[in-house]
C-alpha cells in the first residue's frame, strides 16, 4: 500500500479535520484553564446571560464565591482580549457590561484589573441580531404612520361619528345631547391640534380613535335596549346583558361605566360564580377601574361564592394579591376596612376616643412630618402614611367597639344575677315571716292559757260574763216591750216573748259555760 493512500483517504473525509481541530482547540482550552487557575481569587458558578448581541451593550451577572477578601482587590471581567470594569453587587455576585465584539465565542474570566486571570474560564458567545419575523416587521411598519396619515385618519373617524351623532339627535333632542356633542367636538379639536403641533403619537391616536368608535357603538346599543324594554322596569338590560359591566371592568374602560350604570345595572351585579365587577377589575389589575367602581358605590368587602378550593370565598383584595397586584390589594383592603368602620354605629358615651387611637395618630403624624420635610416630592409616601393612619384609627375604633360591647354584656349579666339574688332573698324573707307569724299565734294561745289557768281568774271571768249576759237580756226585754206596746199586742204575746227571751238567754249562758271548759289535761 502506498504511503499516500492513508493521506488521500483522510483528505476525502472532512470529519477527520473537524475532529483534529476540536482536539487542538480542547487542548488549548485545557492549557488556558491550567494557566488561568494559578492563584485563584474567585470561583465562577453561573453566568447570566450566556450570550449577547454583538452590536448591543448587555449587562452580565456572574455568580460565584470569593476566595479572598473582596475589598483587597480591584475586579474586572475579560471577554476574550477586552477587559471591562466590574462591580460587586453583593457577596458572591459580580456585575459587568459586555462590550461590543465580533460575532463568535470568546473566553470569559475574572481579573484583578491587570488582565491576569484569577478565576476559571467560561465560554461566552456574541451573536448577530437578525429580525426574521416578517409579521412583526409589517406591524411595526403599519404602526409607524406619518403625522399626515394620522391627521387624515382622525378627520375620517370624526366625520363618521359626527354623522351618527346627527342621526341620533334627529330622534332625540335636549340640552344634555348638545352638551355631550360640544364636549366631543372639543376632544376632537384637541387631538387634531396635538397632531398638527407634533405632540401626538401613532399608538395613542389610534387607541383614542378606537375608544371613540366603541363609545359611539355602546351608546347606540344602550339606546336600542332602552327602547325595547318597558320604561317602568328598573333595568333596561336582561341579566345576560348586565354582564357587560364585567367585560368593561376587565378591559379597563372607565368611560363605559357611567352609561351602563345609568341604564339601571347594579354596580355590585354578580355573575354565575358570584364575582362582581370589582373582583374582575382586581383580577386584571385595573387600578383606575377599581377607583371608579369604588367611587360608584361598589362594595369592597364583597365575597365570591364558595368553592371546593376556597370554601370561604374571596374578596377583591385577596384576588388582587393572588395575581401579584400588591398595591391594588392594599388599596382594596383599606377601602374594605374604611367601609366596615363607617358601618359601625357606636354611642359616644359608651365609646370615647381610645388612648391607643390617639397614640397611633401621634406616631403616624410625627413620622409623616419628618419624612415630608426631608422629601417633599414623595407623594407616594404621604399616601402610604395616610393608609397607615386610616388602618390604625380603624383598628383602635373596632377594638373600642368590642370593649364597649363586652362591657355592656357584662353589666347585663351582673344585673340579671342581682335580680335573681333579690328574688331568692325575698322568698327566704317571706318564708321567715310565715314562720314568725305561726310562732306569734302559738305564743298568744299559750299566754291566754296561762292567764286563765287558775280558778280565781276563771271565776272572775264567769261572773263578768254573766253580768254582761244579764245586761243584754234586759236590753232585749225593754226592746220587746216597746215593740209590743207600739203594735198593741195582747199580754199573751208579751208573756210568750218574755218567756222566749229568758229561755234564749239561759241557753246562751249554758253554752258559754260549756265552751269555756278549759282542756286542763293539755297542760
Q: For 85-136, what is each residue's pLDDT tens digit?
A: 898 888 889 999 888 888 888 989 998 888 888 888 889 998 887 655 544 5
| 135 assigned to some structural domain | no
| 324 assigned to some structural domain | no
Residues 220 and 238 in one domain: no
Using the 3D structure, point to which of 416, 445, 474 is the last residue of a domain. Answer: 445
Q: Which segments of 73-118 are extended strands (E)?
A: 76-79, 82-90, 93-98, 104-111
Domains in the chain, number = 5
Residues 397 and 494 in one domain: no
Q: Are 78 and 51 in contact (CB under 8 A)?
A: no
Main-chain dihedrals φ then ψ at residue 111, nearest 5 degrees: -125, 170
Round to whole Å and give the CA distance between 18 and 21: 5
Residues 376 and 435 in one domain: yes
For residue 316, the SS3 value is: helix
| 139 assigned to some structural domain | no
| 314 assigned to some structural domain | yes
What is residue 220's predicted lDDT score, i.e. its pLDDT?
A: 86
| 328 assigned to some structural domain | no
Round to whole Å and give the CA distance between 123 and 233: 74
Residues 22 and 116 in one domain: yes
Q: Are 305 and 313 in contact (CB under 8 A)?
A: yes
Residues 235 and 178 in one domain: no
| 185 assigned to some structural domain | yes
Main-chain dihedrals φ then ψ at residue 93, nearest 5 degrees: -125, 120
Using the 3D structure, point to which of 394, 417, 445 is the last residue of a domain. Answer: 445
- Bridge-based pairing of strands 122-127 and 51-53 is parallel
List the one residue out of 467, 462, 463, 472 whose CA is nearest residue 515: 462
Who contacts 517 (Cβ-Cβ below 8 Å, separation ≥6)? none
Q: How far is CA 513 from the centre of its chain?
A: 98
Q: Are 257 and 281 in contact (CB under 8 A)?
A: no
Query: In this structure, what CATH number is given to the domain that contains residue 48?
Result: 2.60.40.10
Round to whole Å and give the CA distance between 250 and 271: 13
Residues 404 and 461 in one domain: no
What is residue 214's predicted lDDT score, i.e. its pLDDT?
A: 83
Rama region for 63: left / alpha / beta (φ>0; ψ in -120 to 50; rest): beta
Cell matching residue 474:
234586759
Using the 3D structure, point to which of 445, 470, 488 is the last residue of a domain. Answer: 445
| 45 assigned to some structural domain | yes
Who contacts 389 (Cβ-Cβ below 8 Å, separation ≥6)? 360, 361, 364, 365
What is residue 398's predicted lDDT score, i.e. its pLDDT?
A: 75
For residue 120, the SS3 value is: coil
What is residue 401's predicted lDDT score, i.e. its pLDDT?
A: 77
For the chain, give the number of residues: 523
Q: Are 351 and 400 in contact (CB under 8 A)?
A: yes
Round to whole Å and give the CA distance between 2 and 10: 14
Query: In this structure, what CATH number is given to the domain that contains residue 306?
Result: 1.25.40.20
Q: Are 103 and 127 in contact (CB under 8 A)?
A: yes
Name the stretches of the chain with pLDDT < 50: 1-14, 16-37, 134-135, 137-143, 170-177, 346-360, 362-374, 511-523
For residue 124, the SS3 value is: strand
Residues 233 and 215 in one domain: no
Round to whole Å and give the CA distance between 321 and 338: 19
What is residue 224's predicted lDDT score, i.e. its pLDDT?
A: 84
Residues 17 and 123 in one domain: yes
What is residue 347's predicted lDDT score, i.e. its pLDDT?
A: 45
What is residue 350's predicted lDDT score, i.e. its pLDDT?
A: 44
Whole-model pTM: value is 0.43
What string of DSSP letters covers 225-289?
HHHHS-TTSS-SS-TTGGGHHHHHHHHT-GGGHHHHHHTT--TT---TTS--HHHHHHHTT-HHH
Domain assignment of residue 480, given as a range: 455-522
Residues 419 and 462 in one domain: no
Run of H or E residues at 473:
helix 455-487
What is residue 276's predicted lDDT score, i.e. its pLDDT?
A: 93
Give CA torsion, residues 56, 59, 63, 65, to 10 deg. 110
Residues 186 and 94 in one domain: no
| 1 assigned to some structural domain | no
pLDDT digits (tens, 9 = 90+) for 7-65: 333 444 445 434 443 444 444 444 444 444 457 888 888 888 888 888 888 899 899 98
Residues 360 and 431 in one domain: yes
Residues 56 and 155 in one domain: no
Main-chain dihedrals φ then ψ at residue 484, nearest 5 degrees: -65, -45
Amino acid at each position: 500500500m502506498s504511503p499516500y493512500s492513508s493521506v488521500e483517504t483522510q483528505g476525502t473525509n472532512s470529519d477527520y479535520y473537524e475532529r483534529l481541530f476540536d482536539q487542538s482547540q480542547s487542548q488549548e482550552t485545557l492549557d488556558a484553564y491550567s494557566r488561568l487557575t494559578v492563584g485563584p481569587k474567585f470561583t465562577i458558578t453561573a453566568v447570566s446571560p450566556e450570550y449577547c448581541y454583538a452590536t448591543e451593550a448587555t449587562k452580565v451577572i456572574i455568580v460565584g464565591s470569593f476566595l479572598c477578601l473582596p475589598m483587597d482587590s480591584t475586579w474586572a471581567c475579560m471577554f476574550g482580549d477586552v477587559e471591562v470594569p466590574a462591580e460587586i453587587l453583593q457577596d458572591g455576585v459580580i456585575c459587568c457590561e459586555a462590550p461590543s465584539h465580533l460575532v463568535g465565542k470568546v473566553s470569559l474570566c475574572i481579573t484583578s484589573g491587570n488582565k491576569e486571570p484569577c478565576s476559571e474560564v467560561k465560554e461566552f458567545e456574541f451573536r448577530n441580531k437578525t429580525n426574521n419575523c416578517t409579521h412583526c416587521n409589517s406591524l411595526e411598519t403599519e404602526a409607524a404612520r406619518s403625522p399626515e396619515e394620522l391627521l387624515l385618519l382622525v378627520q375620517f373617524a370624526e366625520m363618521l361619528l359626527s354623522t351618527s351623532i346627527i342621526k341620533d339627535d334627529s330622534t332625540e333632542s335636549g340640552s344634555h345631547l348638545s352638551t355631550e356633542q360640544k364636549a366631543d367636538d372639543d376632544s376632537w379639536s384637541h387631538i387634531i391640534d396635538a397632531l398638527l403641533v407634533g405632540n401626538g403619537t401613532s399608538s395613542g391616536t389610534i387607541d383614542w380613535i378606537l375608544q371613540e368608535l366603541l363609545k359611539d357603538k355602546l351608546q347606540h346599543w344602550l339606546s336600542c335596549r332602552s327602547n325595547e324594554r318597558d320604561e317602568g322596569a328598573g333595568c333596561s338590560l336582561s341579566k345576560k346583558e348586565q354582564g357587560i359591566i364585567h367585560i368593561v371592568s376587565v378591559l379597563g374602560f372607565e368611560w363605559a361605566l357611567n352609561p351602563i350604570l345609568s341604564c339601571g345595572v347594579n354596580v355590585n351585579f354578580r355573575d354565575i360564580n358570584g364575582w362582581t365587577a370589582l373582583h374582575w377589575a382586581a383580577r386584571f389589575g385595573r387600578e383606575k377601574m377599581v377607583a371608579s367602581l369604588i367611587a360608584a358605590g361598589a362594595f369592597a368587602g364583597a365575597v365570591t361564592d364558595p368553592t371546593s378550593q376556597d370554601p370561604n370565598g374571596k374578596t377583591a383584595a385577596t384576588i388582587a394579591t393572588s395575581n401579584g397586584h400588591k398595591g391594588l390589594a392594599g388599596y382594596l383592603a383599606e377601602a374594605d376596612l374604611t367601609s366596615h368602620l363607617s358601618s359601625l354605629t357606636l354611642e359616644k358615651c359608651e365609646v370615647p376616643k381610645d388612648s391607643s387611637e390617639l397614640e397611633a395618630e401621634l406616631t403616624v403624624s410625627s413620622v409623616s412630618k419628618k419624612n415630608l420635610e426631608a422629601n417633599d416630592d414623595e407623594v407616594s409616601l404621604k399616601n402610604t402614611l395616610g393608609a397607615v393612619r386610616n388602618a390604625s384609627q380603624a383598628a383602635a375604633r373596632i377594638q373600642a367597639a368590642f370593649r364597649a360591647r363586652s362591657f355592656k354584656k357584662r353589666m347585663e349579666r351582673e344585673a340579671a344575677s342581682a335580680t335573681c339574688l333579690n328574688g331568692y332573698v325575698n322568698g327566704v324573707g317571706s318564708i321567715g315571716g310565715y314562720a314568725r307569724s305561726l310562732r306569734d299565734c302559738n305564743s298568744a294561745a299559750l299566754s291566754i292559757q296561762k292567764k286563765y289557768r287558775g280558778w280565781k281568774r276563771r271565776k272572775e271571768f264567769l261572773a263578768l260574763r254573766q253580768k254582761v249576759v244579764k245586761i243584754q237580756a234586759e236590753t232585749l226585754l225593754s226592746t220587746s216591750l216597746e215593740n209590743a206596746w207600739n203594735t198593741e199586742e195582747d199580754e199573751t204575746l208579751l208573756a210568750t216573748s218574755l218567756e222566749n227571751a229568758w229561755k234564749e238567754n239561759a241557753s246562751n249562758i249554758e253554752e258559754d259555760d260549756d265552751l269555756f271548759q278549759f282542756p286542763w289535761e293539755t297542760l
